[in-house]
Structure 1
Amino acid sequence: MSIQAPISTAPTQPQQGWFAQILRHRGVQLTLVLWILGHGIIILLSNGALPFDRPAFAEIPFPLQILAPSVMMLEIFVLMGLGYMLTRNRPSIDLAARAPERSQAMRETLGLVAYAAFGQALGWVLGPMLGFQPLSFHLAGTLVGGHSGLSVAEVWVWAIYNFGFYAVVPYLWFRRRYSAVQLNLVSSNRRNDLLVIAVIAISESLFELTTLGTSLNRLSFGQLALGLPLSLFIYGIGTVLPTMILIYSILIPRFLKITGSAITTVLLGGLSYAIVHIAEGWTNFSTPTNALLSILFVLINYFGAGMIKTVLTLRTGNAWVHALGYHTIAPHVIIDTPHIVNIFGIR
């Protein structure tokens, strides 16, 4: 199914009508209100300082830290436009047809959400029991720096836990009932999919290299030779594949079947992606205020990334496109390879 909103039939201002259709969507209106409200609450409660363990952002002024998610959202809108332009000549793909009938889709969605919530709670408890950080969708220190004292064992426990719980088990369960096509794991246009992957990956990589910064250029050739493939593999099984299977292979077609709205599906995809990152290693739940700030900051930081992943999946019908174009290389290989090199002591 196309994610494009209905286009106005008025001959004079078709583009304005298209934009107005999106703005009139109640989900979009609610999102805009909550976006502004969330930022306001963060500013009021934080007193000019965020209580998070994010060394990479420690020297960045508070106003810029608050502004950054909105800047990133604008860049994501650009990527959405690129994704649409690159796929505009493809036949529309009806992802809702890949899901079961509505009542069954609802049962499967609720069951999978409950399963994922249990996995998050279990990881929150299991990690500290083993002497590690809580097991979230990101390894502690991912994207934000710090946590250089993580052990190699913790890295593998995190990756294997996420891969098994969020990728292998859901895949095996649903693969018994649905084909690979119905799980968005087969390309209907390989050439175009590769084009989308390349353009999105290059665009996002350039954006991250020019705005977020990375210490990748400080690594030696030997560190890069070992660190790049190791980072690719660890983050691939630890967060890329779990995200792809849980949300974009299984949940997205069911969201579309249940709601009947591509726009609502994009919003739900963004929300789902943000929620699975609630227990990030940099969050702070030591007080009710810090907990609220953590939840709000996770939501505004990950919501946009979840939306672009949904858009790419809806446009191509292939969950691999977002995984390779907007997750594997950028950000994790570009930003997090130095983190992996440090943990594994690669010289």
Structure 2
Amino acid sequence: MSLFRSKTLWITVGAVVVANVAVFGLASRAGIADAAKMAASADANLVVVALLIGVIWWLTRKRAAVDLAARAPERRRAGREVAGVLAYAAAGQVVGALLGWLPGEHPISFHLAGTLYGHQHVTPYEAYVWAGYNFVVYALLPWLYFRQRYTAEQLSLRSSNRRNDLLVIVVVMVLESLNEIGGLSDAILHLSASQLLKGVPAAFGLYLLGSVLPTMVLVYSILLPRYRALTRSVPATVVLGGLTYALLHFFEAWTVLTSPAGAAVSIGLLLLQYTGPGMVKSVLTLRTGNAWVHVWAYHAVAPHTIVDTPHVVGIFNIR
């Protein structure tokens, strides 16, 4: 198969091996609680990632191919836009981290402190600031800038096959929901009916603003078509989408960047945890041409609403 002759595939496999060596070799010196356990969980999830990518391909095998590269400008302009967006996102990460650190709170990254991993105490005020900052910086402002210059179709915000999009959304959402409840966290099952009634919409809305829409707009609406045009390679585009998604979590609350060992393990864990899910989002967008598909299939509901509703219930003391 041509896939197994792809240099991008084998470079990615090599990077996974190196990340594992770094994490397991330096975990005892990194100062990150449960670093080895986090890596083992991320490695196991890579199997799920591969299976989901196969399912997505099978579900979309009969629909017309989407030329995502055609939605990007000519290559020189695409390159300038990619460089500008990545520099803007990096600045947003640094400013967000400082806005959290200076008042003695958690850095603002693409996940609220305590999301998926960790048990950090978060106040309602901090949660609101996190969601508002991320929505404005990574979703609203980039969308306003690019929407003036490109159509909704060029930004992959319009469906070309609603029936197939719905099929993909339902199947992937169900599979990932079962994976989350069966593997990562079943804490949502232990909430009371009252907590579920109030906590589920609260978690959905909070993470939609703070993580899901910023991811969709910045990475899969704006950057992915330009990656496709610049690389002229589907595997490279998939991996670049995954890497971008991972690095947007650089200042997660659990990362330790104050020592070489801590930084090496933190970066290794970021790559192991988030590149795979970011690649699934890339494949969803490449195969459907609709950046909204990943929002509903593989982000807003599973994992965030399922895994993080208990966290939100704790933040807002929902009874």
Bin the TM-score by the shorter chain: over 0.9
User: Does the C-alpha gap of structure 1 residues 161 and 66 become closer, same or farther in structure 2, counting only changes over 3 Å?
Assistant: closer
1:6-21 to 2 correspondences below 5 Å: 18=1, 21=2
Find 1:37's aligned residue among 8, 18, 39.
Answer: 18
Q: Distance in 2 between matches of 1:228 and 1:97?
A: 39
Structure number with the bigger relative contact order (C-alpha 8 A, sep ≥ 6) is: 2
Q: Is the 8 A contact 1:127 1:135 kept in 2?
A: yes
Find 2:196's aligned residue among 224, 229, 235.
Answer: 224
Q: Distance in 2 between matches of 1:69 and 1:206?
A: 16
2:32 is the counterpart of 1:52: yes
Q: Distance in 2 between matches of 1:25 and 1:200?
A: 26
Partner residue, 1:314: 286
Find 2:239's aligned residue among 264, 267, 270.
Answer: 267
Structure with the greater alpha carbon radius of gyration: 1
Find 2:303's aligned residue among 324, 331, 340.
Answer: 331
* 1:203-237 Cα shifts (integer Å, max 9, x gaps): 00001111112311221111111100010000000
2:270 is the counterpart of 1:298: yes
TM-score, L = length of structure 2: 0.97
2:200 is the counterpart of 1:233: no
User: Does the C-alpha gap of structure 1 residues 230 and 65 become closer, same or farther in structure 2, counting only changes over 3 Å?
Assistant: closer
Q: Distance in 1 between matches of 2:136 and 2:213?
A: 10
1:332-347 to 2 correspondences below 5 Å: 332-347=304-319
Q: Distance in 1 between matches of 2:223 and 2:297?
A: 20
TM-score, L = length of structure 1: 0.89
Partner residue, 1:150: 122
Q: CA deviation at 1:71?
A: 1.6
Q: Is the 8 A contact 2:204 2:300 kept in 1?
A: yes
User: Does the C-alpha gap of structure 1 residues 50 and 74 become closer, same or farther in structure 2, counting only changes over 3 Å?
Assistant: farther
Q: Distance in 2 between matches of 1:125 and 1:172?
A: 25
Q: CA deviation at 1:130?
A: 3.2
Q: Is the 8 A contact 2:39 2:273 kept in 1?
A: no
2:142 is the counterpart of 1:161: no
SS in 1 for 2:298: helix
Q: CA deviation at 1:131?
A: 3.3
Q: Is the 8 A contact 2:224 2:241 kept in 1?
A: yes
User: Does the C-alpha gap of structure 1 residues 70 and 222 become closer, same or farther in structure 2, counting only changes over 3 Å?
Assistant: same
Q: Is the 8 A contact 1:145 1:339 kept in 2?
A: no
Partner residue, 1:135: 108
Unmatched segments (≥5 aa) in structure 2: none
SS in 2 for 1:197: helix
Q: Distance in 2 between matches of 1:111 and 1:171?
A: 14
Find 2:165's aligned residue among 158, 171, 193.
Answer: 193
Partner residue, 1:85: 58
SS in 1 for 2:110: coil
Find 1:109's aligned residue among 64, 82, 85.
Answer: 82
CA RMSD, Structure 1 to Structure 2 (Å): 1.4
Unmatched segments (≥5 aa) in structure 1: 1-17
Letter in 2 for 1:52: I
Q: Distance in 2 between matches of 1:102 and 1:123?
A: 31
Q: CA deviation at 1:65?
A: 4.1
2:222 is the counterpart of 1:242: no
Moved over 6 A (4+): none
Partner residue, 1:257: 229
* 1:119-172 Cα shifts (integer Å, max 9, x gaps): 00101111122332100000000011411x311110000000000000000000
Q: CA deviation at 1:67?
A: 2.8
Letter in 1 for 2:236: T
Q: Percent identity, aligned pairs only?
A: 47
What count of residue pairs does the alignment treat as equivalent? 319
Find 1:96's aligned residue among 54, 58, 69.
Answer: 69
Q: Is the 8 A contact 1:244 1:319 kept in 2?
A: yes
Q: Distance in 2 between matches of 1:145 and 1:111?
A: 33
